[in-house]
Amino acid sequence: MSYLDEMAEQGYHMDSIDSFHEVMVPWLLASQGVDRNATVIDIGAGHGHCLIPLHRSGWTRLLAVDIDDRNFTAFGDRFDIEGHRCDIATEPLPVVDASAGVILCFHLIEHLSSPSNLLAECARVLQPAGKLFLVTPDWRKQYRTFWRDPTHLRPYDKEAIARLLRMHGLQPELHSWGSRYGLGRLGAYRWSPRLGMIGADLLAVGTRQMNAATG
């Protein structure tokens, strides 16, 4: 059974996207001034929990990248999302240099034995001033539960992620991500999206520097 199979078996698939992602992902990009005509690449797109809410909110240039292409036909037929198969641990993104306004990388980096190729490729394909939105468990908040996912390989905290982004020419802006104290169950982020940025995950927004070298 693959990772996506196990997720679907637990009820997590493109027809059951939670309200948190439906609200918070479009809000996050809008709050960072991302134009709805920007090219958005989701690396590790999975079942579409980031791209489908963006499609529903009016973003039009959406690309899904994943090592597993099982959802690509549905992405294209139902949501006009273009799919590209790629093993980001070792392969280059099938995208030309400086062509993306945004890259999304939600809960992927902790599954890679090394982040080097991922971050180098993000830096390569982002336009100057383009943004990488990276979400991963915050080790300092989740060290008791991190290894419950048997596919996790590397934990990170905010300092480690910030240093990695700077090393690859991305200026980091660090936040928490998710809801806490029952606010998620109440859906409080619907009325105040900032309440969706107090959780146990960390969110790094890395902005591509104009003249930074990659590597």
The residues pairing with 43 across neighbouring beta strands, listed in sequence order, are 65
* pLDDT for residue 213 is more than 60: no
pLDDT at 13: 84
Q: What CATH code is carried by the domain that includes residue 192?
A: 3.40.50.150
Q: What's the burial of 117, exposed, middle or buried (CB within 10 Å: 0-12/13-18/19+)?
A: middle
* pLDDT for residue 99 is more than 80: yes
3-state secondary structure of 105: strand
Band of residue 205 on the pLDDT scale cut at 50, 70, 90: very high
Structural domain includes residue 215 = no
* pLDDT for residue 214 is more than 60: no
Q: What pTM was computed for the model?
A: 0.94
**Dihedral Cα 185, 156, 127, 27, nearest 10 deg:** 10
Do residues 20 and 201 touch, judged by C-beta distance below 8 A? no
DSSP 177: E
Domain span at 45: 3-208
HSE, side-chain direction, 13 A CA sphere, residue 93: 25
pLDDT (tens digit, 9 = 90+) per residue, 22-63?
999 999 999 999 999 999 999 999 999 999 999 999 999 999
pLDDT (tens digit, 9 = 90+) per residue, 2-26?
888 888 888 788 899 999 999 999 9
**What is the β-pairing status of strands 39-43 and 100-106?**
parallel
pLDDT at 212: 56
What total of structural domains would you count in the chain? 1
Structural domain includes residue 213 = no
Q: State the average pLDDT for the chain.
A: 94
Structural domain includes residue 165 = yes
CA–CA dist 193, 195 (Å, integer): 5
Kindly list the distances between the CA atom of residue 144 and the CA atoms of 141, 161, 204, in Å, as whole numbers in the listed order: 8, 20, 22
pLDDT at 183: 66
Structural domain includes residue 87 = yes
- When computed from its CA atoms, the radius of gyration of the chain, rounded to whole angstroms, is 16
